[in-house]
Structure 1
Amino acid sequence: MALPPRPGDQLASATSSTRVIVIRAPAGMAGRIECGGTPMVPARDAPAGRPDDEPSGTLIGKRYVDAADTLELLCTASGAGLLTYGGQPLQIKAPKALPASD
């Protein structure tokens, strides 16, 4: 990508059906967001006719974060391939516990 992604940007994998929305991105982002080792592209520039693949890498509705918790992506379409940022795998964000009610 030429410009670093901003919150609200929609990205798509060039090799699978994975799509994400950027929820949070660090200022001055240095690394690339990749899926399955291939840089993600703006969703509007994604190639048409990608084969439907087994959703074994990303899961729809899950939020993915980097180790420093500065980048957050929301998966809007499942697909093959793992999400990475700067060569490091992104992890599924743990849900926040709700307060107990009596």
Structure 2
Amino acid sequence: MLKTGARLRSQVCDTQMIVVRADATDGTLTCGGSPVIELTSTPDPGLTLAADAADGTAIGKRYVDGAGTIEVLVTKPGTGSLALDGEALTIKSAKPLPSSD
């Protein structure tokens, strides 16, 4: 289960992230096609980056799923792309500021 505040990393690229919001989801968060692990854990040496999950991540960007059940902040970019249960996460769009008169 993903928890808010968890620091995670990819097993197949340099991506690191912090979970900003996880609304009671038991889904599997992946990066580069492989499940992410705790920042202090050791990656499985047999895993490789999946070609269909190699769009990359951008530092400082927040990624969300379509249902809004998870939000992660990328703290170190990498070549793998993020997904939750096979659904690709997208960059969260900024909210427009109110106009000032």
Q: Quickly name the TM-score band, shorter chain normalised.
A: 0.7 to 0.9
TM superposition shift of 1:30: 2.8
2:33 alignment partner AA:
G
Aligned length in residues: 91
Residues 38-76 of structure 1: per-residue CA shift (max 9 Å, x gap):
0000001144xxxxxxxx500000000000011000000
The C-alpha deviation readout for 1:10-37, integer Å capped at 9, x for no partner, is 000011100010000021x232000010
> In structure 2, what is the Cα distance between the partners aligned to 1:84 and 1:58?
11
Paired position in structure 1 for 2:52: none
Offset at 1:96? 0.4
Deviations 1:59-100 (A, max 9, x none): 000000000011000000000111000110001000000011
Do 1:15 and 1:38's aligned partners in 2 also have CA atoms closer than 8 Å? yes
Unaligned runs of 5+ in 1: 48-55
Verify: 1:13 aligned to 2:10, yes or no: yes
Matched, 1:22 2:2: no
Residue pair 1:13, 1:46 contacting (<8 A) in 2 also? no
TM normalised by structure 2 equals 0.85
Percent identical pairs in the alignment equals: 46
Q: 4+ runs of 1 displaced by more than 2 Å?
A: none
Aligned position for 1:88:
87
1:72 aligned partner, one-letter code:
E
Residue 43 of structure 1, aligned match among 18, 39, 44: 39
Equivalent residues of 1:20, 1:77 under 8 A apart: yes
- Structure 1 99/46 Cα, relative in aligned 2: closer, same or farther at 3 Å? farther
How far apart, in 2, do the equivalents of 1:46 and 1:7 lie? 21
Q: Per the alignment, do residues 101 and 46 of structure 1 end up closer, same or farther by CA in structure 2, a change over 3 Å counting?
A: farther
